[in-house]
Structure 1
């Protein structure tokens, strides 16, 4: 079964794109891709918040023995992560029979350059190179009950394909005329002690490191990236 990510400027559709997902534990699933604007009326929001918060809580406690609390507290928190940018998107994998059973998710937003406040430990500080369209991976999370089934890799792959599809739709003939000199690039950050190895195994290299410390924990944040091949979207089924 071939999943069908958005082809082209999916962020400007009136409705989210919904596809058939894989069978997990004998049950059918759905894959849906949403823009920040569409999320305001998304019936999956309660399950999405639960999955993201539980995933981050489980990861924090496993790695650091403590948690900093809920990652998201409201729809506004999620839209802020996506920056309400029409180019941003979030992919949700849920049990087909239940809006509340969100198994996994990943979101992505365009990265245009450093924010005005670069003092935040999690803020990217680099400037994109000429000819490189950068996308920042955010909120990759799998419900604890569904972990260990390869869903994080699966969702990462869908996100990369979505970025390539949007890049190709935007570049089109201009990319071909420029002899494919422009490329999409995925960037992300993660605590070195948790998922840095996971992303390294999937082709992400370390760009720079920033220390993080609060009253409870301290660790290094790895800022990582991966160049995507526009040709990967040329023959999508």
Structure 2
């Protein structure tokens, strides 16, 4: 999950990026391509007086989207901000290439990604997604903008519930996250996540003067 409170309305490449819509309407990003249906867009929250649009992507739709270059930069900026906030020296970009982001999203069944953009420019300002837990490392990013990230987290929860409902039957669903305690722990606690366990990294780890903690958290979504 990532957001950039400083993203402006100019568009990084001077072009209108996807996800734009007229408030109150639901739109499609572009016609079907290579047999892939277009992603679903709808009005997002108004932030600082500006209208946003949120788009739901399946992995195949995301791979065809021209938004990837600016989203890639947003995620790297969010990780840099998060590291700086706890004193981790900047040691290179979180994502080295745009294709690395798509690789980390993957294409497992049930995977989806929400992206919120400024409606007037198409510039991405926040993203969040989910996939079935496999025990592997997954990417998450967060930079300020609680209204943006809270909105996307609610959408992610709702989409997970919708997909679980389509499967049918009674089941218990957990949402699990791993984050740096000092950077985002309180943010997730306020949203109902509880600590499962925490690892402590002392002063000097990764060049930090005080060290930091990595917390693994979960929340029962249903069942």
Task: Tell me whether the two structures share a fold, i.e. TM-score over 0.5.
Answer: yes
Partner of 1:104: 126
Distance in 2 separating the partners of 1:104 and 1:97: 15
Contact 2:88 2:207 in 1 (8 A): no
Indicate the SS of the match to 1:92: strand
Indicate the SS of the match to 1:64: coil
Partner of 1:77: 100
Q: Which runs of no fewer than 5 residues in structure 2 stay unpaired?
A: 1-22, 27-34
Partner of 1:168: 165
* Deviations 1:141-177 (CA, angstroms, capped at 9, x unpaired): 35xxxx4452121211111111111111112xxx2xx
Number of positions where the alignment pairs a residue of Structure 1 with one of Structure 2: 189
Matched, 1:226 2:219: yes
Aligned partner of 1:209 among 166, 190, 198: 198
Partner of 1:62: 85
Contact 1:3 1:21 in 2 (8 A): no
Aligned partner of 2:59 among 36, 50, 54: 36
Flag the structure with more relative contact order, 1 or 2, with Cα contacts below 8 A and sequence separation at least 6.
Answer: 2
* Deviations 1:48-71 (CA, angstroms, capped at 9, x unpaired): 112111111112112115223222
Contact 1:187 1:225 in 2 (8 A): yes
Distance in 2 separating the partners of 1:139 and 1:2: 30
Indicate the SS of the match to 1:150: helix
Partner of 1:235: none
Provide TM-score, normalisation by structure 1: 0.70
Distance in 1 separating the partners of 2:105 and 2:130: 7
Contact 1:90 1:107 in 2 (8 A): yes
Partner of 1:132: none
Matched, 1:190 2:179: yes
**Over aligned residue pairs, what C-alpha RMSD do you find?**
2.7
Indicate the SS of the match to 1:22: strand
Q: Which runs of no fewer than 5 residues in structure 1 stay unpaired?
A: 5-11, 116-122, 124-135, 231-237
List 4+ stretches of structure 1 deviating above 6 A: 1-4
Within-5 A mapping of 1:84-99: 84-99=107-122
Distance in 2 separating the partners of 1:3 and 1:228: 29
Provide TM-score, normalisation by structure 2: 0.74
Aligned partner of 1:26 among 49, 61, 81: 49
Distance in 1 separating the partners of 2:118 and 2:68: 14
